[in-house]
């Protein structure tokens, strides 16, 4: 997936090698690396590509059965 690098704080970010890249560069990344860079706000999708599908978090509206206040013996 092609992304445009919007900022660069280091040569490696979360294991992604950006040593040859500069802010504003258009670079091809794997889907995993693209997702990381977009989630952290370091890059944006190129206008000619489609962003990765959004993933929704698990429903947290119900209290967990496990945790510090869970009753013993309940399943």
Q: How far is 29 from 24, CA to CA, in rounded Å?
A: 15
Structure tokens at 38: 């977009």
43-57 pLDDT, tens digit per residue, is: 999 876 555 555 566
Mean pLDDT score of the chain: 79
Residue 60's pLDDT band (cuts 50, 70, 90): low
27-42 pLDDT, tens digit per residue, is: 999 999 999 999 999 9
- What predicted TM-score, i.e. pTM, was given to this entire model? 0.59
């Amino acid at each position: 997936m092609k992304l445009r690098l919007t900022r660069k704080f280091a040569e490696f970010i979360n294991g992604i090698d950006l040593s040859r890249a500069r802010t504003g560069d258009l670079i091809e990344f794997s889907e995993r690396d693209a997702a990381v860079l977009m989630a952290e706000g370091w890059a944006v999708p190129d206008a000619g590509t489609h962003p990765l599908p959004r993933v929704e978090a698990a429903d947290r509206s119900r209290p967990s059965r496990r945790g510090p206040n869970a009753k013993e013996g309940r399943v």
